[in-house]
Structure 1
Amino acid sequence: MYRSHHFHVDHGDHSITVNVGPGRTGEIELLVDGKVIAYRKEHEPGTTVLEGVLPEEPAHPFRIMVRQPHLVPTGPRCTWELDGVEQMMSERSSP
């Protein structure tokens, strides 16, 4: 059975969370400080990119990459890129 996946990272005073719905094509939502700032209803296997902006002065854009494996039946992986540096986001356990 498929389950939801939740990824999270703290950056400065900001909280960045990515929720990936159940199934291999479930919805993806990107939250900054608890507010949804980007949403994708469906996605294909491969990499889905969402873009966001950290609410600071000046605004600080970043990207989220959710990778769904093509051939191997494993869960997604999530990274985020800020200032050209890509880092893994840790997965939180589902409630």
Structure 2
Amino acid sequence: MRRRHHFHIDHAGHSVSATVQTGHTVIVEVLVDGKETGHGTTHDDHPVTVPVELPAEPPMPVSVRAVPGPGVPRCFLEVAGAEPQVMSPRPY
């Protein structure tokens, strides 16, 4: 059964959101400041990393790592030189 999970974090003045659609094929969509900037797929409970850029001067490369399972999915914002930041789940 497919289910959608939503995550969000604010970083360096930008909004980063991720939607993880679970099922046999997991689909991850990443939005930066409300615009879709990346997506990725994986199978079952395998993690997937989606590289995106924050619109800064110069653009700031970051990644969203989605861990679909086991259990409830989790998402992390990964920035070079820093510990991964947990993205907050959203109920909608």
The TM-score, its normalising length taken from structure 2, stands at 0.86
What do residues 30-77 of structure 1 show as CA deviations (whole Å, max 9, x unaligned)?
Answer: 10000001112x3122210000111100111001110122xx4x1211
Indicate conservation of the 8 Å contact 2:20/2:68, yes or no: no
Structure 2 segments unaligned to the other structure (5+ residues):
none
When the two chains are superposed, the root-mean-square deviation of aligned CA atoms in Å is 1.6
Instruction: Extract structure 1 runs of 4+ deviating beyond 2 A.
Output: 22-26
Spell out the pairing of 1:1-95 with structure 2 (5 A cutoff).
2-40=2-40, 42-44=41-43, 45-69=45-69, 72=70, 74-85=71-82, 86-94=84-92
Percent of aligned pairs with the same amino acid: 37
Indicate conservation of the 8 Å contact 2:22/2:68, yes or no: no
Deviation at 1:24, TM superposition (A): 4.8
**Structure that is richer in strand per residue:** 2
The TM-score, its normalising length taken from structure 1, stands at 0.83
Structure 1 segments unaligned to the other structure (5+ residues):
none
